Amino acid sequence: MRRRWIGGAIAAVVIIVVGIAIYQRRSGGFEPEILPLPEGLPGYEAMKIPPDNPMTPEKVALGRQLFFDKRLSADESRSCYDCHLNEKGLSDGLPTAVGALGKRLPRNSPTLWNIGYHHEFYWDGRAPTLERQIFAAWTGGNMSANPEEIAAKLNRIEGYRRQFRKVFGTDATPDAIVKALAAYTRTIIGGKTAWDRWRAGDENAISEEAKRGWEVFQRIGCTNCHDGLLFTDLQYHNVGIGMDKPNPDLGRYNVTKQDKDRGAFKTPTLRDVARSGPYFHDGSVATLEEAVDIMLAGGKPNPWLDRANLKPAQITPEERRALLAFLRSLTEEGELKAPRLPQR
């Protein structure tokens, strides 16, 4: 009787162990970390999500792995994250970015905070959706990926293939890869700064100096363009950066071919600006002080300068220091968290 009982127990253990081994083999031994979807930016309108790419926690978890995975680039040298780093304010610390295969790119990596609330993407707004922008970044100079080859590579990694099946009902395809990346990118929501805490009622969250700087920022019209909780009006303005070069980057003009858009670029958010230098679309300015001084001077003279919105501001050295203290209070305290990646 007792022998039978022991025999049964041993058989059960063996079945469980073999079951786990088979399961691990089939799943690549990988369990994704699935987190709840984040709250939106407090006090801001709801994010518009394209009907053909709804947000789900599983899709975002998959997109987060892809965002951090260097295997998405042609030479496996770069993930999306490598040019949008936490410690660099979701930029990369370079004047202009360097893509996979050592490719030099013409523009500065922008921060990604609250990017899901934008209507158009890139410095010149040439991409009408985040999905189109991401496809371009992935297959263009940033990562030089051949989409079909990368999809096939991901399908050889069981931990990925299972997730694509679960989320999209198919193996990995270029379209599904882009959709998952876009879903994750929409969760990159800022709003955890000392300034936000102060606005929410914590009087001690920022210094008196930073509070005076916020007053100065509004009084001298920085908010004409760096407006609202996003600190951008999502519009294009010429402030004169790079217009003195022999062949200036004409920015928005390349998209619209309208004369007024010559040298105009999308107003960047100022969230995390203290960490996201070098500054401007061409990364031509190394320090925040210098960037602010250019704006205080009313931009750089050229025939298309937006003089209606950007006027030279006469402020005292104390006010300038206060303005900088305010900008430093916009440093984001949240961060993109690297996930574990499926290896087989």
Residues that bind ligand HEC (CB under 6 A): 67, 78, 80, 82-84, 97-99, 105, 107, 109-110, 112, 115, 118, 121-123, 130, 133-134, 137-138, 142-143, 181, 185, 220-222, 224-226, 237, 239, 241, 265, 267-268, 273, 276, 279-281, 291-292, 295-296, 306, 309-310, 313
d(CA 119, CA 122): 10
By beta-carbon proximity to ligand HEC, the closer residue of 142 and 163 is 142
Sequence-distant (6+) residues with CB within 8 A of 33 are: 61, 339, 340
* Least distance CB 237 / ligand HEC (angstroms): 4
By beta-carbon proximity to ligand HEC, the closer residue of 104 and 156 is 104
Which among 146, 111, 167, 138 is positioned nearest to 280, based on CA atoms?
A: 111
By beta-carbon proximity to ligand HEC, the closer residue of 204 and 314 is 314
* Least distance CB 314 / ligand HEC (angstroms): 11
* Least distance CB 15 / ligand HEC (angstroms): 43
By beta-carbon proximity to ligand HEC, the closer residue of 27 and 331 is 331
By beta-carbon proximity to ligand HEC, the closer residue of 107 and 161 is 107
* Least distance CB 316 / ligand HEC (angstroms): 14
State both tokens at 125.
């707004």
Q: For residue 221, what are the CA distances in angstroms to 1, 194, 283?
A: 89, 22, 24
CA triplet 67, 138, 127: central angle to 5 degrees? 105
d(CA 167, CA 32): 12
C-beta separation of 213 from 325 below 8 A: yes
* Least distance CB 29 / ligand HEC (angstroms): 26
Question: Where does residue 104 rank: exposed (0-12), middle (13-18), buried (19+ CB within 10 A)?
Answer: exposed
C-beta separation of 107 from 123 below 8 A: yes
* Least distance CB 273 / ligand HEC (angstroms): 5
Which among 249, 226, 254 is positioned nearest to 326, based on CA atoms?
A: 226
* Least distance CB 325 / ligand HEC (angstroms): 12
* Least distance CB 118 / ligand HEC (angstroms): 6
d(CA 314, CA 172): 57
By beta-carbon proximity to ligand HEC, the closer residue of 7 and 221 is 221
By beta-carbon proximity to ligand HEC, the closer residue of 137 and 194 is 137
By beta-carbon proximity to ligand HEC, the closer residue of 179 and 237 is 237
C-beta separation of 235 from 261 below 8 A: no
